[in-house]
Amino acid sequence: MSPTLYSFLHVASAFLLVGYTFFVFASPKLPENRRKVMMISGILSLIMLVGGFGLVSKVYANAWPTFVLIKVACWLGLSAMAGLAYRNPAQVRTLAYITRLLVLIAVWAVYFKPFMS
C-alpha cells in the first residue's frame, strides 16, 4: 500500500473519530445510541492506528520519532473519550476541553515534529 492511502485512512478516520466523540459529548445520556457509537468509534480508532503505523513503516522505515510517541499518547486519550463520556456524563465539559487539547497537540506534533533534527 502507498503512503498516500495510509495517510488518507489515518486522517479520515481521525476526523470521523473526533466527530463521533463530540456527538457523544452532545448527548451522553442517550442509551439507545451507546452501543452503535461505541462500535463505530472503536472501528475508527483501529483504522486510525493502522493508517498511522502504515505511515510510520513507509515513511520512517519503522523508526519511532518522538512526534509519533506524542501522537500515540494523543490517540490513546482520544480513543477513551467516548467511553468516559458515557460513564460520567457530568464530566462532559471537562472531557471536551481535554479532547480539544489532545487534537491540538497531535496536529502540532505532525507539523512541527518536535525533537527531530
Question: Is 75:52 a contact under the CB 8 Å cutoff?
Answer: yes
- Per residue in 5-27, pLDDT (tens digit) is 999 999 999 999 999 999 999 98
Residue 28 lies in a domain: yes
Residue 18 lies in a domain: yes
* Cell 456527538 sits on residue: 23
Residue 55 lies in a domain: yes
Cα–Cα nearest to 108, from 73, 75, 59, 71: 71
Residue 117 lies in a domain: no
Domain count, the chain: 1
Q: How does the average pLDDT of the chain come out, rounded?
A: 93
Question: What is the pTM assigned to this prediction?
Answer: 0.91
Residue range of the domain that includes 25: 3-112
Positions in the chain whose pLDDT score sits under 50: none
Cα–Cα nearest to 98, from 15, 41, 25, 32: 25
Q: What is the pLDDT of residue 83?
A: 93
Q: What is the pLDDT of residue 81?
A: 96
Residue 88 lies in a domain: yes
Residue 76 lies in a domain: yes
Residue 79 lies in a domain: yes
Q: What is the pLDDT of residue 10?
A: 96
